[in-house]
């Protein structure tokens, strides 16, 4: 799946599951960080990460790998897109 | 998305026992025979209410609501909370640290052990509260299930305390909830069939709290355990470790249940009902020294 397409799907999840305002979407890029403790990030907390991971599984149809350290994959939208693409490959 | 709420969250309550010198003192008494050590702890506990008027007032509020007691009876129950806490605290830094074989004389029966057996395969969330010797409950369950157990803890203000209360071992690993991505780690652990231990009685002061009636009045409880359960469809197992009249610990395991996606609030109510049941039986082992109904009042 193309990078832009994966990113759009992630934005949909942000709006539908994480209750983001659609007006924030144009500001999001692959460089946007996710966890709340990073300056300029989306400010996701631990509950958001539960919602996001479940949303990804449902949207993309795979189970997130339980054997890996997942935090690096959920660092920015770009690393998350790469992770999803690698799982779909 | 949540940074505003998170930033507004008050600092978490830390009781005056959370001082390294108290831990040192309790740990120094490890060599004393347990019965004598607990007698010393009770004496120390008797002094505590007069030294901690704020905590005493909070406990009186809780005891009055839990038991309906007034007057001298309420005073007696309030004092008993401090003496019971002192005994459990003393065990926390001594007996809890001992290998299972040395601890076993202090353990009574396990009520509801069959419920643990039915949840032996697959992931499991062990849900407990600051009641009795909660830390020992986690270690005992970890030993019984023989699966790695990840215990979620609040980041301590004093790192120095970790050497006494958060020593990894016997299949138990402590995980700080400070990192926002900790939930990914916990979801993965549950999917691997491991155990996650969480405290379900202290609100976080964030949007991750939910209001549920507790002894007839709304109180806030953390929603996270129920989202984890519904996210990976694993059961929640309420478990408590209480000191009995013979100073032995009894473990009580309530009925396991699974949170349904979108119905996490109902699951929280089920948990709070189990917690109320235990607190009714052991009101003086409720070790939250603040007003549970107004936790962030200053």
- B133: Cβ contacts below 8 Å, ≥ 6 apart: B88, B91, B92, B96, B241, B242, B243, B249
pLDDT at B12: 46
Q: Which candidate in B5, B183, B198 is best for mutational testing of the A interface (most A CBs within 10 A)? A: B183
Q: Do B206 and A19 touch (CB under 8 A)?
A: no
Interval A72-78 mean pLDDT: 94
List the single residue in B2, B181, B189 with the smallest CB-CB distance to A74: B181
Interval B246-257 mean pLDDT: 92
- What is the total count of domains within chain B? 1
Share of chain B above pLDDT 90, in %: 48
- For chain B, how many helices (H) and strands (E)? 12, 10
State whether residue A66 sits within 8 Å of chain B by CB: yes
Q: Which candidate in B176, B181, B192 is best for mutational testing of the A interface (most A CBs within 10 A)? A: B181
pLDDT at B98: 62
The answer to whether B58 and B82 have CB atoms below 8 angstroms apart is no
DSSP code at position B249: E
- What is the total count of domains within chain A? 1
- Which of the four pLDDT bands, split at 50, 70 and 90, describes residue A63? confident
Is B207 within the bounds of a domain?
Answer: yes
Count of beta carbons in the 10 Å neighbourhood of residue B166? 17
List the single residue in B184, B206, B228 with the smallest CB-CB distance to A74: B184
Range of the domain at A42: 3-88
Residue A86: enclosing H or E segment and its boundaries?
helix A77-88
List the single residue in B2, B188, B191 with the smallest CB-CB distance to A45: B2
pLDDT at B102: 58
Coil/strand/helix, residue A61: coil
Q: How many CB pairs under 8 A join A and B?
A: 84
- Chain A residue numbers touching B179 (CB-CB < 8 A): 35, 37, 46, 71
CA distance A48 to A2: 25
Instruction: Output the domain CATH number for residue A35.
Output: 1.10.1200.10
Q: Where are the alpha helices (DSSP H) in chain B?
A: 3-8, 20-28, 34-51, 53-67, 71-92, 100-103, 113-117, 134-145, 162-165, 182-191, 224-232, 264-281
pLDDT at A40: 84
Residue A56: enclosing H or E segment and its boundaries?
helix A46-60
Is B292 within the bounds of a domain?
Answer: no
Interval B252-258 mean pLDDT: 93
**Mean pLDDT, rounded, of chain B:** 82
**ipTM of predicted complex:** 0.88
Among B139-153, B194-208, B251-265, the range scoring the smallest mean pLDDT is B139-153
The predicted-structure confidence for B226-243, as pLDDT tens digits, reads as follows: 999 999 999 999 999 999
Residues 7-26 of A with CB under 8 A from B: 18-20
Among B64-78, B119-133, B140-154, B188-202, the range scoring the smallest mean pLDDT is B140-154
- Which of the four pLDDT bands, split at 50, 70 and 90, describes residue B31? confident
Range of the domain at B72: 3-285
Q: Is the pLDDT of residue B101 over 80?
A: no
Count of beta carbons in the 10 Å neighbourhood of residue B102? 10
List the single residue in B177, B188, B191 with the smallest CB-CB distance to A46: B177
The position carrying tokens 């062990």 is B126
The predicted-structure confidence for B68-78, as pLDDT tens digits, reads as follows: 999 999 999 99
Is B290 within the bounds of a domain?
Answer: no
pTM (whole model) above 0.90: no
The predicted-structure confidence for A1-59, as pLDDT tens digits, reads as follows: 899 999 999 999 999 988 888 988 888 899 999 998 888 889 899 899 999 999 999 99
State whether residue B179 sits within 8 Å of chain A by CB: yes
Which residue in chain B has the smallest CA separation from A75?
A: B181
């Amino acid at each position: 799946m193309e990078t832009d397409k994966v990113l759009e799907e992630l934005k949909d999840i942000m709006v539908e599951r994480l209750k983001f305002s659609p007006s924030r979407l144009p500001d999001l890029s692959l460089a946007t960080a996710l966890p709340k403790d990073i300056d300029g990030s989306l400010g996701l907390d631990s509950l958001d990460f539960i919602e996001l991971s479940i949303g990804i599984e449902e949207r993309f149809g795979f189970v997130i790998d339980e054997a890996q350290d997942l935090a690096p994959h959920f660092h920015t939208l770009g690393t998350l897109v790469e992770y999803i693409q690698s799982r779909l490959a | 998305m949540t940074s505003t709420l998170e930033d507004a969250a008050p600092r978490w309550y830390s009781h005056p026992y959370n001082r390294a010198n108290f831990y040192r003192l309790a740990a120094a008494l490890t060599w004393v025979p347990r019965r004598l050590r607990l007698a010393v702890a009770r004496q120390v506990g008797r002094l505590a209410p007069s030294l901690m008027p704020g905590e005493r007032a909070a406990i009186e509020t809780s005891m009055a609501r839990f038991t309906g007691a007034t007057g001298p009876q309420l005073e007696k129950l309030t004092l008993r909370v401090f003496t019971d806490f002192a005994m459990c605290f003393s065990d926390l830094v001594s007996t809890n640290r001992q290998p299972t074989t040395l601890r076993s004389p202090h353990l009574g029966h396990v009520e509801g052990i069959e419920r643990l057996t039915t949840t032996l395969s697959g992931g499991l969330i062990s849900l407990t509260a600051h009641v009795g010797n909660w830390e020992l409950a986690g270690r005992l369950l970890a030993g019984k299930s023989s699966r790695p157990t990840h215990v979620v803890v609040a980041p301590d203000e004093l790192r120095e305390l970790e050497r006494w209360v958060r020593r990894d071992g016997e299949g138990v690993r402590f995980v700080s909830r400070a990192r926002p991505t900790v939930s990914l780690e916990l979801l993965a652990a549950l999917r691997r069939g491991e155990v996650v231990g969480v405290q379900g009685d202290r609100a976080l002061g964030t949007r991750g709290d939910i209001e549920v009636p507790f002894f007839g009045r709304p109180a806030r409880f953390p929603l996270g355990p129920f989202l984890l359960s519904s996210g990976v469809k694993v059961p929640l197992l309420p478990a408590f470790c209480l000191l009995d009249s013979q100073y032995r610990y009894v473990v009580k395991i309530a009925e396991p249940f699974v949170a349904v996606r979108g119905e996490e609030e109902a699951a929280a109510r089920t948990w709070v009902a189990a917690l109320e049941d235990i607190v009714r039986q052991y009101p003086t082992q409720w070790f939250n020294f603040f007003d549970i109904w107004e936790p962030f009042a200053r």
